[in-house]
Structure 1
Amino acid sequence: MPRAGLDHDTVVAAAATIADAEGLDAVTLSRVAAELGVKSPSLYNHVAGREGLLRGIALLGLSELAAALRDAAVGRSGDDALLAASQAYRAYVIAHPGRYAAGAITAPSPDDQPLQQAASTVLDLLTAILRSWNLSPDDTIHALRAIRASVHGFTTLETSGGFGLKQDTDESFHRLILALAAGFRGR
């Protein structure tokens, strides 16, 4: 019988907290069980093993990232929307590196429709922002890749200490995103 108060969302939330603090490699059934004060086998009532934990973290992360992007971009357009959404994206990656790594870096399996949908929601929000530039469908794909690569690359360098010079990283990020926007206008 499942422990009272323990459910799928609680188990995934505990795993996501571990992933953010210690990395995805630290997410194991035994580590999550210890965090929740239960034995590892009891987690199987709520998740399908370690893969279920990682999938749950991915779904949670993508859902939270989509909400952050949506909240940042609402009521904005063009450069302003792109800048606000990119800043929210960067803030999410910095605050939740484990959740981000679980779901937003690699494309989900075509067989996993819920994960596909969660990833599509993030891309759909970014695509909506890109409509301001009237890009062709192919150019939109290239622009999506540029945004994701820019935010990912910048935050990866930032969080790993790759920016050792004294200039303000917020200003550097701001300029990066505005350069992307200028490039989109040039298409």
Structure 2
Amino acid sequence: MLDDDVWRLEKIGKDGAFHTKLKSEGITTVQDFLKLSVVNPQSLRRILGVGMSEKMWEVTIKHARTCVLGNKQYILRGNNHFVMFNPVCQVLKAVIDGQDYTSRELNNIDRTYIERFVRQAYENWSSLEEVDANMNETALITQGEIMEQYPNHQLMMLKPFQQHGYIVDRAIDMGYELNSDQAGCSDWTY
């Protein structure tokens, strides 16, 4: 599980050398381990040191990746961007300068631009907005309800946009999404 102690991973013994090194760098949970493995795997390898062979590394990473990610998603907001992450700091969706990108479409953007958002999210993880992904499937809220929930209007302007020939409320960008039956579209990926 994400909140398990990092020593629960294979090849990381409780109070052993790897556990001690990770703890000293603030990596105490499986989630911490996975986030750093996504954001900066070289740094994680450096922390573990030469004592962790390539084979041990592969075993540990493979075991970590079996972790159940759960339903939480994390949102980084800025003046010209809205980026949604899974619990291990992987980008799920982004709205940049008013342009919507699914995780698949992010490959079309300059990688260093996206990596900047990933690093920013990682460094400020505790200040990201946390939302429940399960709510996304059932809670389609109206523009008025969004504005009541976010009265300071720091959200982007709420207006419809067209995707695959269907007009969908901007609530999708706020972390609320239509399932394929509601939207009449089956090829969306979030």
TM-score, length of structure 1 as denominator length: 0.30
* TM-score in terms of structure 2 length: 0.29
Report 1 or 2 for greater relative contact order, CA contacts < 8 Å, sequence distance ≥ 6: 1
Relative to its length, the structure with more helix (as a share) is 1
